[in-house]
Amino acid sequence: MKISVLKEHRPGETRVAATPETVKKLVGLGHTITIESGAGTVAGFPDSAFAEAGAAIASGPAAANGADIVFKVRRPEPAEIASLPEGSALIALMEPFAYDASEVAALNAKKIAGLSMEFTPRITRAQSMDALSSQSNLAGYRAVIEGAQIYGRAMPMMMTAAGTVAPAKVFVMGAGVAGLQAIATARRLGAVVTANDVRPAAKEQVASLGAKFIAVEDEEFKAAETSAGYAKEMSPEYQAKQAALTASHIAKQDIVITTALIPGRAAPVLITEAMVKSMKPGSVIVDMAVSQGGNCPLSKADEIVDVNGVKVAGFSNLPARLPADSSSLYAKNLLAFLPLITGEGGKLNLDTDDEIVKAMLLMRNGVTVSERLK
C-alpha cells in the first residue's frame, strides 16, 4: 500500500504520525511511504532522516496523491480534506465528538474511510494500539513538570544548615492513565501526593504509587465505572458530597492537577471559583481538561490566569510539549494497528469483522457507520 504521512497544520501541534523508526519498519513490510516535507521537523525528525529510512518526500498537498492510507495526528481541517484522495483510508485522532455536520459531509463526499484512534477498544489485544493511553501518559507527566515550573519552589523536602524546605503538596484529581502518571511523577520529584477518582479500582492503584486516596466512598462510588474501564458521570448528590470533601482538602494544597474527562461530554467541574480563592497565593492549578471546557471554570485554553495569586494554567495539548516522545509512541500505535486492515498481498482491507476495526471505523463509502458518531 501507499501510505502518506501529512504535516499537522493546527496551531501548537508539534507531533507527527510517523518516525524514521516506524517508516523503516513499514518499508520493510513492503509499503511505500510518502512524508510531507517538514512534517517531523519540530519533533526532531528532519526530512533527511525519513529519506534515509526509505520514505519519499513530497511538498504540500501533493504528499497525499495516490495514497491508500493517510496517517495524521489530528483530524483534517476542511481545507485539508480537499487534498485527501477519494476512497482513501484516514487514520488519526479524529476528535469524533467535535465534528460538525459539514465536516462529516465533506469526508463522506470523498468516500473517505475514517478510523478514529480514540475509539480503540480497551481490551488486552488492543493495548499496543491505544493512542489515548500513550498520549495521556506523557500528558500526565508533562502536567506535573509544567505545574512545578509555575509553582517556582522546591518540590522535595530539603534539610539544610540554613533551615528546612517543606515538600510541596500535590493533589491529583482523577486517577486514569494521565492521573496515575502525574502521581508517579510528583512522587519522583519528592512531593507529598494525594489523589481522588470516582472509580473504586483507582484506590489501590493510587496507593501502589505511594499516594493517599481522597474520596467519598459510598454505594454510588462502588458502582462508578463502566465495563470499558471509563468513569461514569456521577449524580448531583454524589458530586455535592465529593465537592465538600475536595473543598476542605484543596485549600491546603500547593499544586492541583485535574484530569477528569468523560468521552463526548463537557468536562465536569471539580474546582469552583470559591475553591480557587481558598488556596494560598503561590499555589498552582493545572487543568488538563481545558480543551473540553475545563475542570475549573476559571481556566482558559493555553493561558495562565492569576486569581488572587493562585495560578490557573490550562494546557490544551500537553503531548505536543513532548513532540519527540509523543510522536514516537503514536507512530508505534499506528504501526501496531495497520496489520488489522492489511489483507492478502499487502492491500487495504476494511471488510473485516475484527472488533477493533469495527469500533474505530467512523465512515466509509460515503456513509457514516459509527453509531457513536451518528
Catalytic center residues: 122, 127, 130, 133, 230
Q: Which residues pair with 162 in a beta bridge?
A: none
Q: Is the dihedral of CA 216, 218, 222, 223 positive or negative?
A: negative
* Cell (9 digits) for 211: 499516594
* Cell (9 digits) for 289: 481538561
Say if CB 239 and CB 231 are below 8 A apart: no
CA terminus-to-terminus distance, the chain: 30
Cβ-based neighbours of 29, under 8 Å, separated by 6 or more: 346
Classified as helix, coil or strand, 231 is strand
As a whole number of angstroms, the distance between CA 257 and CA 206 comes to 14
The values of phi and psi at residue 127, to 5°, are -60, -40
As a whole number of angstroms, the distance between CA 211 and CA 180 comes to 10
DSSP state of 303: E
152: left (phi over 0), alpha (psi -120 to 50) or beta: left
Strand duo 158-160 + 163-165: pairing? antiparallel
* Cell (9 digits) for 190: 519528592
